[in-house]
Amino acid sequence: MPARHILTVKHCVDTSAQYTFRTGSTHAPSGGTTATATRVTLHASADLAVVKPDRDVTNTPAKVASTYPRTGSNVSIYG
């Protein structure tokens, strides 16, 4: 993902709501940096959404797997 976007799940966001995202911390109330969503784009069929924040998000993404899946593999992420 480019530094100017956040990938999240569609069932956790709505295009008409306002969101602030905390990145770079696993502790919700503090740490890292915050960015306010300026646009939320929902995927047409998958449970994915792309959020455009008001600033670049340059923190290291959370590790969600111990290895990279092969190209073309199905991947499920629960949270």
Edge-first strand listing for the sheet containing 49-53: 6-8, 49-53, 33-42, 20-23
For residue 20, the cross-strand partners are 36
Whole-prediction pTM value? 0.69
7-39: per-residue pLDDT in tens? 888 998 988 889 998 888 877 888 888 999 999
36-72: per-residue pLDDT in tens? 999 999 999 999 999 999 998 877 766 667 788 888 9
Residue 42's closest CA among 4, 5, 13?
13
Q: Kindly report the CA angle at 59 between 29 and 42, in degrees rounded to 5?
A: 80
The three-class DSSP label of residue 11 is helix
Token digits for 48?
Answer: 């994915």
